[in-house]
Amino acid sequence: MDAMGEQFLAAASFAGRVCVGLVFLLAAAQKASHWRILSGVIANYRLLPRKMAAPAAALLPPLEMVIAILLLSGLLMPWAALASIALLAVFAAAMAINLLRGRSAIDCGCGQSFLAQTLSWTLVARNAVLAALLLPSLAAAGSMTLSAALTGVGAGLAFFLLYLLLNALAALPRPEARGHRFA
């Protein structure tokens, strides 16, 4: 790979780590602030034995926080990226299993209580996109220029803001399909 390709890969890696790191940081903080209901949200997925929901709820926010710190700091790469991809895959699989069971009317538990969202294939796809953003981190190696680092940070922040915007739009109430007319 030429030097330009290496710098692009490094910037893409940085962008993915910044975006997903901020997503995990936000999710960990919000789950920790609503820890009383988290075990109920996890239990509602009906994938773990009920007695495992509370330990899972106790472990999830610290795990997400550690992953966020590792991604944002660049420590333990590519292991941090692999752990992030694995956790995103677990979340996506839990949502997909419930959707296939016909259980879409449960809270996703994504951590944003003010933007409560029910399960949907869009959320499964969102997790796949977040995981895909980390793929360059598995291949990137070597040093990067300051301009590549700044580009990566800017792109990562832009992706994170887009993530927040899309979550806010997805949480908006939908008009009834029948009989609703816009003025």
Q: Where are the domains of the chain?
A: 3-170
By the 8 A CB rule, do 136 and 12 touch? yes
Reported pTM: 0.88
Q: Determine how many CB atoms are found less than 10 A away from the CB of residue 177.
A: 6
Q: What is residue 174's predicted lDDT score, i.e. its pLDDT?
A: 66
* Across 2-6, 26-30, 62-66, 123-127, least confident range: 2-6
pLDDT band at 24 (very low <50, low <70, confident <90, very high): very high
Return the higher-pLDDT residue of 73 and 76: 73
Total count of residues recorded for the chain: 183
pLDDT at residue 177 in the model: 46
Rounded Cα distance between 87 and 118, Å, is 19
Smallest Cα–Cα separation from 163: which of 23, 14, 28, 21?
23
What is the C-alpha separation between 22 and 149, in angstroms, rounded? 16
Q: What is the pLDDT of residue 84?
A: 96
**pLDDT, mean of residues 150-171:** 90
Neighbours of 143 (CB within 10 A): 9
Helix (H, G, I), strand (E, B) or coil at 107: strand
